[in-house]
Amino acid sequence: MATTSAGYARARARAGFRKTIRGVVGIMVALAVWQVLASIGFVRPEWFPTATTVLGDAVALLGQSAFTLQVLSTLYDMLLGLIISTVVAVPLGVLLGRFPLAYRMSSVLVEAMRPIPALALTPVAILLFGLSGATTVSLVVWTSTWPILINSVYGMHSVDPVALDTARSFGLGRWTALYRVALPSAAPFIATGIRIAIGIALAVAVATEMVTGAGSGVGGWIVQASSGGSLIPVYAAAVLVGLVGYLLNYLFERIERRLFRWHLSYRKEGA
Amino acid sequence: MNAAASKPQVLSVQDLVYAYRTADGEIEAISDLSFAVHEGEFVSIVGPSGSGKTTLMKIVAGLLQATKGSVRILGKPLTGRVPDGVALVFQDYSRSLFPWMTVQRNVEFPLSHRRASRADVAQRSRESLSAVGLVDFATRYPWELSGGMQQRVAIARALAFRPRLLLMDEPFASVDAQTRADLEDLVADVHQQFGTTILFVTHDIDESVYLSDRVLVLSAHPARLLLDREVPLSRPRDQVATRELHDFVRLRAEIAGLILRPGTEKTASSPQDTSPGGR
Amino acid sequence: MAQVRTPRRTTAKEFGQGIARWVLESVALIVVLVALWQVLTSVFHPLYFPTPVAIWGQIARAWFTPLGFTADILPSFERVTLGWLLAAVIGVPLGVAVGRSRSFAEYVTPLVHYARAVPPPVILPIFMIFFGVGNAMKVVFIAVGVLWPILLNVIKGVESVETVQLDTATVYGIGGSRRLLHVVLPAAMPDILAGLRISLALAFVLMVISEMIAASGGIGYQILQSQAQFDILNMWAGIVVLAVGGVVFNAVLTTIEGRVLRWHRGQRREAL
């Protein structure tokens, strides 16, 4: 029995390795196609540069603090916004999930606020916070709050009442039960909300920076760089910022998987 | 009952081997298995969990390919394609039914692409739904029904297909005892009423003896045939009276001896294997 | 054991009471908040926050006119709709094709994840060079931006179709297009629609950014212009029009989703 389970583990490791290899091959093929298309030269090279040109430029950009500092600035604003909305939305979602009347009273309001596009509020944010990072942060907060809030409520609604009753029967107080039982079982849903928020927060942060003006963050950098007529820096920045977004998402998924191994959606194969 | 042997063979399995590869090398799940099922027969396969019973069912249904040996259905060898006229009822009723279709749509779905007329399809679904007592629930969705009722829908779907061979893979393993007894009698009735040939897999010794004309006992790791025995009980059978008969008790004890106290065979012993009284 | 869990049919009277309670409980909060806004703004006259009544007046005067409709409101919502639809028309079949083949999905998925991680606004300048600043650019930009989340959700949905369901179809000899249409697609539908809903929100963001950066019309353009000219009232009017548009689009999609996925919600409720 022990040998077979070790065998399964090895087989799974091999499948994971194959997956990685195939993913890399896929990206390589895409780069090769890009390279060939761009080399044919039916579009001006400064509009559609080859993959090697862009990758070379991207590596060079990494060494320029003028660029990397802007990336860090955008990341900082985005993460700050995410943290603020998590701190606000999770407790709010837990409360709305626990108290049906509060949920019923607020659900229409939430449904009406949620689809308001963050960018529509840019001018208001500019008026309130000026052309600063605070504007970016506030719009990231607006965007991220809704998915986190809704998933928190949903997570609380799917807490097994039996688990809560069990906790109460062991003498846990109402709030202790909420903290020790309900919150952990809602946590995977909350994490899903945060992951959705991450997906759109970076786009909103960059977009806000592009509107609020040149100089600040990746968005500002893009506006300035693209005014020169050559698109090569824009491509290079897209490659690097994409990498940052990819790593951010990857990291979060890894943490999620590690923390919530017990949760159903992660043990589909085991069932 | 011996008359069954003179009837044509619906299924014949010859020297079947199934092995799968792991990082540690090949592991044999089924080893040199041979048996036949004749028309109209109700044959049970009983064995401990993990004895390759489900694998066997999947091979017969054409979902898996055997490593060696031959499987013939109505004389025709399986050729890596799904055989005609075979229906399979899975253990996992909640997943094998399509939740986006009503009960009736679920039952009619396998029929609607055959060249049957609309009236014929409706007639067949009605007939099989009434055989399982669910005519009144035709417009419901599967998830509106209890587990036992869902499994009855799966059985109705299989019946409407009018299979030459009905495979049932531990169909009642996940319902409660009372429902299980009801479903056992339902399947026995259906077998009598439609004359369907049934190959029934279970890990429950009682159930295998109670339901079938013949019991095949398999060993675990790998699956080998330990016993092939006619069941000397008349039909119709009764949940209480039949189980008290001397023949029933003796055959059950013989099978239990093979499975629970194997001579040379090594068997896994997880709790659910230590059946007979475990239900 | 309970035989059937029958959802009780509600009577007309109960239905009426339900509506009344719903209005009282949920709409009341909104009414109270808007009233509060009206009172506070008309008492304190804050510089940046006009009263709701004034905003409504501005909308009626400047936006709900033939010119306002054709110059700003219609173009904006047309861009969102076309871009999003274009992405859906490409993304859903493509995602199904990729998701059906495990090895193909393994080659392509990291690439799609990467493409999805690039914030679309970063590549807006590229679209402006290739497609100009007109309508076509915005539609294509929105379509490319929202294609990736749609694709990822469709792939995920198709990959997670239950093996037992596929086996069932196989055993009953159901293959090819029937299996795709009646088994794979319905089973993947919850994920597909979730992807479409998430991408609709993104489509709105992309519409506004493309109009703010490069346009001479549209709601996003009007909002930013008004702010630059310190026409606070008109800016708020634009925001409200945009917000109402977002709510309406979302409501339409949610309604369709609720219809199509009635079975899914019912099933999930029973499972909990």
Q: Cβ B22–A14 below 8 Å, yes or no? A: no
Sheet with B86-89, side-by-side order of all strands: B86-89, B165-169, B198-202, B42-46, B214-218, B225-230
The answer, yes or no, to whether residue C137 has pLDDT greater than 60, is: yes
Whether A10 and B23 lie within 8 Å, measured CB to CB: yes
- Asked if the model's pLDDT at residue B45 lies above 90, the reply is yes
Q: What is the token pair recorded at B184?
A: 């056992």
Q: Does A211 contact C207 at a Cβ distance shorter than 8 Å?
A: no
Pairing of strands B9-22, B25-38: antiparallel
Q: Which CATH number fits domain A50-270: 3.10.290.10, 3.40.50.2020, 1.20.1250.20, 1.10.3720.10?
A: 1.10.3720.10
Question: Would the CB atoms of B146 and C167 count as touching at under 8 Å?
Answer: no
Total Cβ atoms within 10 A of residue A173: 11
Q: Which residues of A touch B24 (CB under 8 A)?
A: 3-4, 6-7, 10
Q: Which of B108, B135, B144 to mutate to test the interface with C (most CBs of C within 10 A)?
A: B144
Contacts of B22 in chain A (CB under 8 A): 4, 7-8, 10-11
**Which residue of C171, C178, C260, C268 to mutate against B (max B Cβ within 10 Å)?**
C171
| Tens of pLDDT, residues B96-123 | 899 999 999 999 998 876 667 888 888 8
pTM here?
0.84
- Which DSSP helix (H) or strand (E) runs through B168? strand B165-169
Q: Pick the more confident residue, C78 or A258.
A: C78
Q: Which residues of A touch C239 (CB under 8 A)?
A: 116, 120-121, 123-124
The DSSP bridge pattern shows strands B165-169 and B198-202 to be: parallel
- Indicate if the pLDDT at residue C19 is higher than 90: no
- Rounded to the nearest angstrom, the minimum Cα separation between B172 and chain A is 18
Q: What is the rounded CA–CA span in Å between residue B23 and residue A4?
A: 9
pLDDT tens digits, residue range A62-108?
Answer: 999 989 999 999 999 999 999 999 999 999 999 998 888 888 888 87
**B39 vs A14, which has greater pLDDT?**
B39
Which residues of chain B have a Cβ shorter than 8 Å from any chain A Cβ?
Answer: 22-24, 27, 268
Interface chains of chain A (3 or more CB pairs under 8 Å): B, C
**Mean pLDDT, chain A, whole residue set:** 86
State whether A231 and C126 contact (CB < 8 Å): yes
Strand partners, B21: B26
> Quick one: which H or E segment has residue B198?
strand B198-202
Mean pLDDT of A211-220: 81
Whether residue B232 is preceded by a cis peptide bond, meaning omega within 30 degrees of 0, is no
Q: Where are the domains of chain A?
A: 1-48, 50-270
CA dist C124 and C214 (Å) reads 9
Structure token pair of residue B133: 């007592």
- CB-nearest partner of A25 from C107, C198, C226: C107
Q: At which residue do the structure tokens 């979060």 appear?
A: A252
Distance of CA C38 to the CA centre of its chain: 30
List of residues 6+ apart from B91 with CB closer than 8 A? B54, B169, B170, B171, B173, B174
Instruction: Say what the pLDDT of residue A46 is.
Output: 85
Q: Is C52 helix (H, G, I), strand (E, B) or coil?
A: helix
**Chain A contact probe: residue of B20, B21, B24 with most A CBs at under 10 A:** B24
Verify whether the Cβ–Cβ distance C171 to B141 is below 8 Å: no
Distance CA A212, CA A133 (A): 9
Of the residues A33, A116, A230, A244, the best mutation for testing chain C's interface (the one with the most C CB atoms within 10 Å of its CB) is: A116
**Amino acid identity at A4:** T
Chains touching chain B through at least 3 C-beta pairs below 8 angstroms are A, C
Do B202 and B187 contact (CB within 8 A), yes or no?
A: no
pLDDT digits (tens, 9 = 90+) for C77-134: 999 999 999 999 999 999 999 998 888 899 999 999 999 999 999 999 999 999 988 8
The nearest CA of chain C is from the CA of A2 a distance in Å of: 27
Which domains are assigned to chain C?
Answer: 50-271 (1.10.3720.10)
Dist CA A217 CA C124 (whole Å): 16
The whole-number pLDDT of residue C9 equals 55
DSSP state, residue B62: T
Q: Chain A residue with minimal CA distance to B22?
A: A7
How confident is the model at residue C3, as a pLDDT? 47
pLDDT in tens, C166-211: 999 988 888 888 899 999 999 999 999 989 988 998 899 899 999 9
CA distance B50 to chain A (A): 12
pLDDT digits (tens, 9 = 90+) for A99-132: 888 888 888 788 778 878 888 898 899 888 888 8
pLDDT averaged over chain B? 83
| Residue to test with chain A: of C23, C36, C116, C122, most A Cβ within 10 A | C122
Residue range A15-44: average pLDDT? 91
| Closest-approach residue (CA) in chain A for C161 | A268
**Dist CA B126 CA C252 (whole Å):** 38
**pLDDT tens string C211-265:** 998 878 899 999 999 988 999 999 999 999 988 888 889 889 988 988 888 888 7
Residues from A in contact with B at Cβ < 8 Å: 1, 3-4, 6-8, 10-11, 14
Kindly determine whether residue C164 and residue B96, on different chains, have CB atoms separated by under 8 Å. yes
Could C171 and B140 be called an inter-chain contact, meaning their C-beta atoms sit closer than 8 Å? no
Three-state DSSP class for B145?
strand
**C-alpha dist (Å) from residue C203 to B127, C236, C249:** 51, 21, 11
Shortest Cα distance from C165 to chain B (angstroms)? 5
- Assigned token pair, C12: 């007309």
Quote the tokens at residue C116.
């999805």
Question: How many percent of chain B have pLDDT more than 90?
Answer: 21
Q: What is the pLDDT of residues B214-267, one digit of tens each?
A: 999 888 878 888 888 888 888 888 888 888 888 888 888 888 888 876 654 444
High-pLDDT (> 70) share of chain A, %: 93
Q: Return the closest-CA partner of residue C139 out of C178, C222, C81.
A: C81
Sequence-distant (6+) residues with CB within 8 A of C62 are C68, C234, C237
Cα of A7 to nearest chain B Cα, Å: 5
Rg (CA), chain B: 19
pLDDT at B274: 37
Cβ separation C266–B87 shorter than 8 A: no
Which residues in chain B have Cβ-Cβ distances shorter than 8 Å to A6?
Answer: 23-24
Cβ-based contacts of C264 with chain B (< 8 Å): 99-100
State the average pLDDT over residues C128-149: 93
The Cα B157–Cα B170 span in angstroms is 17
| A128 contacts on C by Cβ (under 8 Å) | 48
| Region B179-193 average pLDDT | 89
Which among B90, B99, B144 has the least Cβ separation from residue C4? B144
Q: Is the CB of B23 less than 8 angstroms away from the CB of A14?
A: yes
Span B79-108, average pLDDT: 87
| pLDDT at residue A3 greater than cutoff 50 | no
B25: nearest CA in chain A?
A: A7
Of the given ranges (A112-121, A170-179, B158-167, B170-179), which has the lowest mean pLDDT? Answer: A170-179
Q: Nearest chain B Cα to A14, which residue?
A: B23
Contact A184, A152 (CB under 8 A): no
CA pair distance B108, B36, nearest whole angstrom? 30
Of C116, C125, C212, Cβ closest to residue A226: C125
At residue B197, the pLDDT reads 93
